[in-house]
Amino acid sequence: MEKLRDMVNIGPEVEKQLIAVGITSPEELIAEGSKKAWLKIYSIDSSACIHRLAALEGAVRGIKKSLLPDEVKEDLKKFYKEAKGR
């Protein structure tokens, strides 16, 4: 896989944001992980939402975000709320 947008859940806009925060390849996104990558995106776009976080996790796992296991979704929700200060 050569481009970020070749990954599941990653479209042109998310690809642009990932590149803007220094993540330029699928391998880099996988190594960084969804949570760290989302925090970097959130630092430049405060509108980054839970759906973007789930999309990144799905991309790392190679599955659509809707297919993430429930326990993973719950973990992401907890992380998201903590990161947003709620």
Q: Where are the domains of the chain?
A: 4-83
Reading the chain (86 residues) residue by residue, the pLDDT tens digits are 689 999 999 999 999 999 999 999 999 999 999 999 999 999 999 999 999 999 999 999 999 999 999 999 999 999 999 999 86
pTM score above 0.85: yes
Q: What single-letter amino acid sits at 51? A: H
Which tokens sit at 2?
């050569």
- CA distances in angstroms from 71 to 18, 29, 47, 74, 82, listed in the order given: 25, 22, 24, 5, 17
Q: 54 CB contacts (<8 Å, ≥6 apart)?
A: 65, 68, 73, 76
Distance in angstroms (rounded) separating the CA atoms of residues 54 and 50:
6
CB 38 within 8 A of CB 16: no
The CATH code that applies to domain 4-83 is: 1.10.150.20
> What pLDDT score was predicted for residue 1?
60
